[in-house]
Every structure is written in structure tokens, then in C-alpha cells.
Amino acid sequence: AQKITQTQPGMFVQEKEAVTLDCTYDTSDPSYGLFWYKQPSSGEMIFLIYQGSYDQQNATEGRYSLNFQKARKSANLVISASQLGDSAMYFCAMREGRGADGLTFGKGTHLIIQP
């Protein structure tokens, strides 16, 4: 079974609209962390937001927020007021335990913002 599932291979969204990118995860470890990264066409991996399994509140970073529903094992990324520069690949990733053995990534969602 996949540990990280991103069900939207691609999305088209109008500029200024809000966007929700889906991510579900699977782990039996009570301690874990969920990450979202953005990868523009230039190729670098840009960290966006982090949610720990014990965090009581949903994480927010500027226009990014993480809709964390622990019981449903989902960690959706919400981008408010989308901009043309938000066009990129977006990856959801998880570390389990202390994460010494790194992150497990989903396959990504290609988001295109249309003017």
C-alpha cells in the first residue's frame, strides 16, 4: 500500500481562486510529520508547510494552510488567492517517527494557474 497518496495528477485553476490539493497518508506510527513541497519548472524543491501529528492546530504559512484531519489520515494543502507563480508540481511527504530514514513522497500534483 502506498504511504502517501495524491489523487490529483493535474489541476487547472483560475487565478485568484482558492486551491485544495489532496493528500492522504498511511502510517501506524503515532509520531509522524507531514510536509508539502513545491517544485517549479526550474526544478528546486521548496518547502511550504509542516504539520506534526501531535500539533493541535492546523499549520498556516502565509497563503498556505494545511487542512489536517487525523482520523481520516488526510493532510490537504490549501492555497488561498492563487497566483500565476503558484503553477508548479506539489508534493506531499511524510516522515515517520524521528524521520532518520527520510521522507516518503507522493507522486505529486501538477497545478496550473490560468489567468
Residues that bind another protein (CB under 8 A): 4, 33, 35, 37, 43-45, 47, 50, 52, 91, 93, 95, 98-108
77 Cβ contact partners less than 8 Å away, ≥ 6 residues apart: 20, 21, 23, 36, 48, 49, 64, 65, 66, 67, 90, 92
Residues, the chain: 115
Query: Toward another protein, which CB reaches closer, 16 or 107?
Result: 107
Within a 10 A sphere around the Cβ of 47, how many other Cβ atoms? 11
Query: Toward another protein, which CB reaches closer, 18 or 40?
Result: 40
Residue 80 beta carbon to another protein: minimum distance, rounded to whole angstroms: 23
By C-alpha distance, which of 69, 70, 83, 72 is closest to 19?
83
- Alpha helices, DSSP H only, in the chain? none
Report the alpha-carbon angle 113-114-115, nearest 5: 125
Residue 73 beta carbon to another protein: minimum distance, rounded to whole angstroms: 18
Residue 67 beta carbon to another protein: minimum distance, rounded to whole angstroms: 20
Query: Toward another protein, which CB reaches closer, 100 or 115?
Result: 100
Query: Toward another protein, which CB reaches closer, 98 or 115?
Result: 98
Residue 91 beta carbon to another protein: minimum distance, rounded to whole angstroms: 6
